[in-house]
Amino acid sequence: MGFKILRKQELIPGQTSLLVIDAPQIAKKAKPGNFVILRNDEKGERVPLTIADKDPKEGTITIVFLVVGKSTAQLNTLQEGDEILDVCGPLGKATHIDKQGTVVCVGGGTGIAAMHHIAKGHWEAGNHVVAIIGARTEDLLLFRCELDGFCPEVLIATDDGSVGHKGFVTEVLKDRLESDRNVTEVVAVGPVPMMEAVAKTTKPFGVKTTVSLNSIMVDGIGMCGACRCSVGGETKFACVDGPEFDGQEVDFSELKARLWQFKEQEDESMGKFKKECSCHGK
């Protein structure tokens, strides 16, 4: 009795996929900022993934994931009609959304998908939403169309300059903050160095900055503290107190160190998977 994959779309072949999953109860409750914990099969580990979208009428949630290790590689072998054994959620505190003015939502890599749900929430609340998205090259930019659907402006930065600004999202963000005094909040979701850079960029402007932390999790319901992080000098659990926190208060170097805790075992697990699953190892 698992959770059926109704639709699968390989956004970046072999690297990033989108799954629409049949999960009516979660779809009914999910809000922007929430995540799920999923487990592929009987021997699987619990993996947290942000809810990128939901459709309560259809009873579905959408997740987008990057293949980084064994569990995500295995997840990417599943096809439409296959089932994921466990999907638990919605978890975490929902994004704090109120009508406030102009909100700039910054997304990097797979984080764009997670950012998309938050941006949509801000738009639904009546805010003017500016999206700034970044990736290495144009083909790796996710959710452009979806964001175009409600963001009056989608600003782009690519490392190679294949589209938009050549360089980092933070440079685009800085320009924007310098020219636009109406920005009331900046939201950033993406790799830790990107979120850290965004917080550094917004600091001189004194604009409220929200980041969504991606710490290691086990249960996702506050039982273990694997996901703990230092925020304003206090220990917080990302799964129950977050995952969103004030970017100026987060200890990013601690977060980075903690993300590498199981590197050795992760490599071992991936090595074993590649060996056993040569059909997908090409």
Partner 1 sequence: MASKPRKPSDIGPRIPMPEQPAAERVKNFSEVALGFSRDDAIAEAERCLQCKKPLCQKGCPVEIDIKEFILKVAEGDMPAAYEVIKETNSLPAVCGRVCPQESQCEGMCVLGKKNEPVAIGRLERYVADTFMASDACEEITGTHACALERDDLKVACIGGGPASLTVAGYLAAKGIKVTVFEALHEPGGVLIYGIPEFRLPKGIVARELDGLKGLGVDIVTNWVGGKTITIQDLQNEGYDAIFIGVGAGLPRFLNIPGDNLVGVFSANEYLTRVNLGRAYDFPNHDTPTFRADNVVVIGGGNVAMDAARTALRMGSKNVSIVYRRTQDEMPARLEELHHAIEEGVEIKALCGPLSFNAGDEGKLASMTVQKMCLGEPDESGRRSPVCIEGETEELPCDMAIIAVGTRPNPILLEATPDLELNRWGYIEADPETGETSMKNVFAGGDIVTGAATVISAMGAGRKAAQEIARRLL
C-beta neighbour count of 276 within 10 angstroms: 10
- Nearer residue to partner 1 within complex by CB, 46 or 200: 46
Q: Between the CA of residue 217 and those of 188, 220, 226, 230, what are the distances in Å? A: 20, 6, 6, 15
- Nearer residue to partner 1 within complex by CB, 100 or 230: 230
Q: Which stretch binds partner 1 (CB under 8 A): 75-83, 102-110, 124-132, 226-234?
A: 226-234
Site for partner 1 in 30-49 (CB under 8 A): 39-40, 43-46
E strand residue ranges, 47-206: 47-55, 60-66, 83-84, 86-91, 102-108, 128-135, 153-158, 165-166, 183-189
User: Please, which residues bridge with residue 63 across strands?
Assistant: 19, 51
Site for partner 1 in 71-110 (CB under 8 A): 71, 85-91
The backbone torsions φ and ψ at residue 37, rounded to the nearest 5 degrees and listed phi first, read -110, 130
What's the token pair of residue 10?
């390989």
Least distance (Å) from partner 1 to the CB of residue 22? 13
Least distance (Å) from partner 1 to the CB of residue 270? 9
Contact flag: residue 59 with partner 1 (CB under 8 A): no
Contact flag: residue 184 with partner 1 (CB under 8 A): no
Site for partner 1 in 203-222 (CB under 8 A): 218-219, 221-222
Contact flag: residue 137 with partner 1 (CB under 8 A): no
Give the span between the Cα atoms of 49 and 63, in whole angstroms.
7
CB-based contacts of 260: which residues, under 8 Å, 6+ apart? Answer: none
Q: How is residue 227 annotated by DSSP? A: T
- Nearer residue to partner 1 within complex by CB, 176 or 228: 228
What's the token pair of residue 195?
């979120």
Least distance (Å) from partner 1 to the CB of residue 151? 29
Cα Rg, the chain, nearest whole Å: 18
Contact flag: residue 277 with partner 1 (CB under 8 A): no
In the chain the first and final C-alpha atoms are separated, in Å, by 31
Site string for partner 1, 227-266 (x = CB under 8 A): -xxx----x-x--x-------------x--xx-xxx-xxx
- Nearer residue to partner 1 within complex by CB, 224 or 277: 224
Interface positions with partner 1 (CB under 8 A): 25-26, 29, 39-40, 43-46, 70-71, 85-91, 218-219, 221-226, 228-230, 235, 237, 240, 254, 257-258, 260-262, 264-266, 268-269, 272
